[in-house]
Structure 1
Amino acid sequence: MSNIKKVLVVGGLISLMLAIFVGCGDAPAEGDEDKETIGLVVSTLNNPFFVSLEEGVEEEAEDMGYDLTVLDSQDDSSQELSNVEDLVQQEVSLILINPVDSEAVESAVTIANDADIPVVTLDRSSEGGEVVSHVASDNVAGGEMAGDFIVDELDNEGKVVELEGVPGASATRDRGEGFNNAIDDSDLEVIASQTANFNRQEGLSVMENILQAEEEIDAVFAHNDEMALGALRAIEDSGRDIMVVGFDATDDAREAVSEGSMAATVAQQPELIGSMGVEVSSDFLTDEEIDEYIPVELELVTE
């Protein structure tokens, strides 16, 4: 083959390869189609329970092929409102929201409603606005579990402290309702009932004050494990022997129960709440029929 023919052949091959390369660049690659985006507004990521909930949402969203935008409200309802406004501006397909306060969140839900963006609540409900589904544990039943356990352990009589969660949160209301339902027919006396806002440091501080004010305390029921662990620290520092029961079964609480320093905790499944939230969202977005309330099972951890 002459040198001229060789050059022509090589040149033709190069041209063909460039054409293929450019053509591939112009065609959309498989799987590059626009994915729907789900927004998650979580009450706080400064709490192991809600970190686990967020992880459940994230893993399920990835498995189901959704993009996910996560915004932390930092236990501030005004920040929560701003977060929802941001997601509305981004035109997400659906908003999952774990409210800071079940009453205050109504404004945020209404903003999403006005933008025709569906809302699913996780763990805590909304007192207003239109919500397509609510995924949560039965907090009333969980409170009753804790109350029944304390009644049995104290042989139906004693003095009890109740550490409440964030005022206005449905979990606070429901867990307190269940607990008080369980002890109503007993001879237990609730000698103090104060909020510690689901926070460990506040649980410590509030319990220190109660210990100074009350000479006789047989048990403490805290609406979540963070407050329970704070109260436990205060009790241990005081040298007194007081039974503590929490709620959520976080890793720290399970360890305390296993060691015997905490008597029990009601086990929620935050990762399952998160993943089920994505599942019900997907069902809604694909026009499948969904329930207004999706319950997630509880159990009492005592060892």
Structure 2
Amino acid sequence: MEPTGEVRTMAIRKLGLAGVLATGLVFTCYAAGPQETYNPQCFKPAAGHKIMTMTARPGPYRVALANGFAGNSWRIQMIQGLKAWAARPENAKEIKELKIVSTGTDVAAQIGAIDNLIAAGYDAIITIAVNPTSFEPVIKRARKAGVVLVPFDNVLDTDQVIQVTEPQVELETVKAQFVYDNMPEKKGKVLEIRGLPGNSVDRDRSIGFHKVFDNKPGIEVVTVVGNWDDGTVQKVVSDAIATQGPFAGIVAQHGSTGLMNALSDAKHPKVPLGTSGENGSLKMIHDQGWTAIARVQSPLLAVVAMKAAIAELQGHPIPQLIQLPVPTLYSKDLKDGVNYSSKLPDNFQDGADIKACNVVIPIDELLKQTPDNT
């Protein structure tokens, strides 16, 4: 439980401000209800969530990304985007060091990496959590050490830290509803292509999918696991078509270029699709005449998370849960050079810019960076 204002005041009086700072304690204040936030155009609070502030700390700051899985194009672009943003002179002046650590899908390894960063004295750590329910102890350790911890993308089941995401249940519900609405006959098999097991995004998006398709008469749901990876998605979709297809509609969390390759190879009949923002999939949707919706989870959420972490270190009031709008593209609106490009790699995430946060990173800046640990 967070100390009340009276308890905090008594603690400061007892220790003295210098004593509080010497212990590494940082008192975070919570406020319920409507509150003025820093940079509200970007840091827009989710409904019902509180505002968090902390005692300002002078920069420049040592900051880190504790990533988990790093094996798909989204994670690669996420790391490249964060590095590119941090390298810009106007941002580099706030950052003494940027550390990148990717640990794979093991929860203990990721928590261990965060503990190592805390012990090494980093000011702020942003993270894509491998599991949404296992981080309470490390959150407490970070707070005790005065380290700002900001999960993003796969958020945690907690209200004790600032988090950055898009509304995941709603993201997939809209895709699923589009597919159902565009099925000529409201019956048949519908393919659900899930993401990486154990992540909150995979869990919540599947909830959104099933809100639409569960209890619909005449609908049979077939589920496969694609790990948000184009190669894996192509294989599991090809296998599903061969053994259980054809399908009346398909919804993929991510890995949509793999989906489109599998559909093309199998010469699958044109059905409505719910997809993501990979450039290659959007090209094929346009060129082959599919009816589709694409909703984009931006890899530049990492940049917004880092901006929020630095703003918190500077003492600004920040919403506990920042939910960004979901960029949405429809097949009827696709245009080369506007919302996808025949000149970009297939695995590039279109629609990734977050203009409300002034996060726009051209591909030439991205490609100067590697996704390697640093």
Judge same fold: TM > 0.5, yes or no: yes
Distance 1:261 1:103 in 2: 42
Q: What amino acid sits opposite 1:136 in the alignment?
A: T
Distance 2:171 2:59 in 1: 41
Cα drift, residue 214 of structure 1: 1.3
| Structure number with higher helix proportion | 1
Question: What residue ranges of structure 1 are gaps of 5+ in the alignment?
Answer: 1-32
Cα drift, residue 38 of structure 1: 1.0
Percent identity between matched residues is 17
What SS does the corresponding residue of 2:65 show, helix, strand or coil? strand
Distance 1:188 1:233 in 2: 28
Tell me the equivalent position of 1:181. 211
What SS does the corresponding residue of 1:213 show, helix, strand or coil? helix
Cα drift, residue 143 of structure 1: 0.5
Q: What amino acid sits opposite 1:121 in the alignment?
A: P
Tell me the equivalent position of 1:147. 176
Cα drift, residue 111 of structure 1: 4.8
Q: What amino acid sits opposite 2:70 in the alignment?
A: L
Q: What amino acid sits opposite 1:45 in the alignment?
A: A
Cα drift, residue 90 of structure 1: 2.0
In the alignment, is the contact (CA less than 8 A) between 1:94 and 1:117 conserved in 2? yes
What SS does the corresponding residue of 1:41 show, helix, strand or coil? strand
Match of 2:60 among 35, 54, 76: 35
Q: What amino acid sits opposite 2:79 in the alignment?
A: E
Match of 2:70 among 45, 60, 63: 45
Tell me the equivalent position of 1:211. 241
Cα drift, residue 298 of structure 1: 0.9
Deviations 1:110-153 (A, max 9, x none): 5534544221011111235x742110111111111101110121
Tell me the equivalent position of 1:280. 308
Cα drift, residue 242 of structure 1: 4.8
Match of 2:319 among 264, 271, 291: 291
Cα drift, residue 92 of structure 1: 0.4
Pair 1:90-2:120 in alignment: yes
Deviations 1:206-249 (A, max 9, x none): 2233223214412221111x1x3323323322222253635441
**TM norm structure 1:** 0.77
Specify whether residues 108 and 235 from structure 1 end up closer, same or farther in structure 2 by C-alpha distance, changes over 3 A only: farther
In the alignment, is the contact (CA less than 8 A) between 1:269 and 1:296 conserved in 2? no
Q: What amino acid sits opposite 1:287 in the alignment?
A: G
Specify whether residues 125 and 212 from structure 1 end up closer, same or farther in structure 2 by C-alpha distance, changes over 3 A only: same
Cα drift, residue 186 of structure 1: 4.7
Distance 1:239 1:248 in 2: 21
Specify whether residues 195 and 91 from structure 1 end up closer, same or farther in structure 2 by C-alpha distance, changes over 3 A only: same
What SS does the corresponding residue of 2:101 show, helix, strand or coil? strand
In the alignment, is the contact (CA less than 8 A) between 1:92 and 1:117 conserved in 2? yes
In the alignment, is the contact (CA less than 8 A) between 2:224 and 2:237 conserved in 1? no
- The structure that has the greater radius of gyration is 1
Distance 1:229 1:104 in 2: 32
Cα drift, residue 187 of structure 1: 4.5
Distance 2:323 2:59 in 1: 32
Tell me the equivalent position of 1:3. none
Tell me the equivalent position of 1:72. 102
Specify whether residues 99 and 247 from structure 1 end up closer, same or farther in structure 2 by C-alpha distance, changes over 3 A only: farther
Q: What amino acid sits opposite 1:175 in the alignment?
A: R
Q: What amino acid sits opposite 2:310 in the alignment?
A: S
Q: What amino acid sits opposite 2:73 in the alignment?
A: P
Tell me the equivalent position of 1:232. 260
What SS does the corresponding residue of 1:125 show, helix, strand or coil? coil
Cα drift, residue 182 of structure 1: 2.7
Q: How many residues align?
A: 267
Q: What amino acid sits opposite 2:66 in the alignment?
A: V
